[in-house]
Amino acid sequence: MTLIKSISGIRGTIGGAVGSNLTPIDAVKFASAYGVWIKQQYKKDAYRVVVGRDARISGEMIQNLVINTLVGLGIHVIDLGLSTTPTVEVAVPMEHADGGIILTASHNPKEWNALKLLNNKGEFLNGEEGAKILNIAESQHISFADVDSLGKITRNDAYIDMHIDAILDLKLVNKAAIEKAKFKVVVDGVNSTGGIAIPLLLERLGVTCVKLYCEPTGHFPHNPEPLKEHLTDLSDAVVKERADFGIVVDPDVDRLAFIDETGAMFGEEYTLVACADYVLSKTPGNTVSNMSSTRALRDITEKHGGTYQASAVGEVNVVALMKQNNAVIGGEGNGGIIYPASHYGRDAMVGVALFLSLLAEKQLTVSALRATYPNYFMSKKKIALTPELNVDAILKAMAAQYQEKEAVNTTDGVKIDFSNSWVHLRKSNTEPIIRIYTEAENQEAANVLADRFIAEIKAVSSGL
């Protein structure tokens, strides 16, 4: 059982001992700290925070604890109920709120939940802000409101529709072309809020939607991370339904992957590549992704005359570099699309609208579209952490092994660039693991490179 406090928020498994898992006491503790931080940021008479959740089994319990903790601090809460991460991000500035909390553990299995924390722009907090909240939580110097100053709760169920309205108003979303194309799409909502939001968006775009696992029960029918090995039911349904393609999102709808008309993966990494290709063709400019993402985005960006840059892993890091680089689109290779014309947050709903616009205008099948992009293959593996593993020492030793021979970047873990491939080794922000990501010109080479570095990590760790 685990509790992780990081730049990605407060994330843990439900149940167990206080301080070692995400228990009710821990939820109240960190919600209190966030509320105090909000009140420290702005000296005013009234404070407002937007709260929404995915459909996890523990979601309603954690939501009630968090909302009523904020009320106890004298903070007014706009309760979106079942929602998506990007919808909460959009709602914060729409509500002129002081911040937002999303209750979701993203792609983690059902026993996990988390508090993802937003600023008054609806963007994730940076490392310095997160550290302040953790310090407040540990100091326990928290003073609650008196009975006449308690906050109030306002329920608003309209924000998914409002979010869709905003997407349809985007200049590059070609609604007419999408409607004319008469697409048929199968949607795997992993029994969370994507099963609400994605079909609503498709219906508004005139797309025929076949629903698969779209009941928001929180009982995930498969591992909720949208990877090939978890999506056999979706692949089968696309072929059976003779659909144009399939869509899968993670439980909080900030990651997006596609299945082509043959039932094959389009490639999670290529979600951003395709959306960037479309955006850059209309509005040339720069792009950003994290350093664990495919080189194909660099290639597409340079084809359109732009500049590509890579950030440390973590949405807040991508967003910071996008702003610095004036990027017109960016995101993460895990299927996360960040389109500043909409908002600075990963948004699968925006990604769906951009992808449909691209497909409708090009009049290609999804497999034919994929064939137009540079062909890279990735391996994504992991090593579970144990108490005796000194991750920092391991990564330092790995960097030292290669710094004389190869291009080594230690901005975020260790990334080693070879002529035709790369490997990125880093400690996860969201799970107790070391991630080993590799990319090469074919799948076998990517897998071999990953296995080689797993063996080298184990050899190095045994010698420390």
Q: Which residues are catalytic?
A: 106
What tokens does 433 get? 């693991």
8-state DSSP, 291:
T
Q: Within 13 Å, how many C-alpha atoms sit on residue 388's CB side?
A: 6
CB neighbours of 87 closer than 8 A, spacing ≥ 6? 52, 80, 159, 160, 163, 197, 253, 349
Angle between helices 194-204 and 159-168 (to 10 degrees): 40
Compute CA distances 148 → 67, 72, 98, 213, whole Å. Answer: 18, 11, 21, 45
The rounded distance, in Å, linking the Cα atoms of 193 and 304 is 35
| Lookup result for tokens 């080794």 | 425
CB 332 within 8 A of CB 349: no
Q: Within 13 Å, how many C-alpha atoms sit on residue 314's CB side?
A: 22
Written as one string, the DSSP assignment of 366-409 is: HHHHHTTS---EEEEEEEE--TT--HHHHHHHHHHHHTTTSEEE
CB 260 within 8 A of CB 367: yes
